[in-house]
Amino acid sequence: MSASSYDVIPDFGLLYDNVPLYAARKDIGFYVQEAVAARGAVLELGCGTGRILLPIARTGCSVVGLDNSRQMLARCRDKLSAESDATFSLIIAPFRIAQHLTTVPDQMRFLADVLRHLAPAGRFIFDVFTPNFAALVGADGVEHEDTHPSRWCAPTGLNRVRTR
């Protein structure tokens, strides 16, 4: 799929969100009403920055948005995460997902978001490892499981599990 023409213009989502004609459209209520009446998950094609998606999400409906513009989707995600006040008793980050965050600011944002969504007395369980440089450079091209199965079920009191 080719890149969206919206992505050629820096901060196009900001511009889009500030066009008075778009903000004044009266279609939001219609789509929200239809989403609630559907009593199921909603898929919005061309969701842009979330002009329709966010009001649907505010009703408690499960909604997924697709868009060809990465910039518009990023703005939609930012707006959605800024509104989200959902908390969870358990937040998991399996299979070393946290290690994909390679900068300290990204890691700190990740942990702050986890804390913001962690319910009181909730748990955050994540999987990380200390890379073995010799094993990495000597790789044979075949993936080998390097976590012993006994580590998948954390023993009581394991210090890798932290409650809020």
Domains of the chain from N-terminus onward: 5-83 (3.40.50.150), 88-163 (no CATH)
Kindly indicate the confidence band of residue 21, based on its pLDDT and cuts at 50, 70 and 90.
confident
Binning the chain into helix, strand and coil, the percentages to the nearest 5 are: 45, 15, 40
Distance set, CA 43 to CA 16, 57, 61, 145 (Å):
21, 11, 11, 37
Average pLDDT over residues 75-97: 86
Average pLDDT over residues 76-85: 85
Say if residue 42's pLDDT is above 90: yes
Say if residue 90's pLDDT is above 60: yes
pLDDT of residue 144: 64
pLDDT of residue 15: 86
Burial of 73 from C-beta contacts in 10 A (0-12 / 13-18 / 19+): buried
pLDDT of residue 55: 94
Average pLDDT over residues 48-73: 92
154 Cβ contact partners less than 8 Å away, ≥ 6 residues apart? 125, 160, 161
Question: Contact, 119 vs 154, CB < 8 A?
Answer: no
Say if residue 1's pLDDT is above 60: no
pLDDT of residue 161: 35
> Count H helices, E strands: the chain?
7, 5
Please, what is the average pLDDT of the chain?
A: 83
The two tokens of residue 62 are: 């499960």
Token match 């909604």: residue? 63
Bridge partners, residue 91, by sequence: 124
Identity (one letter) of the amino acid at 90?
L
Measured CA to CA, the distance from residue 135 to residue 129 in angstroms comes to 13
The two tokens of residue 146 are: 């390097």
Say if residue 141's pLDDT is above 90: no
Say if residue 146's pLDDT is above 60: yes
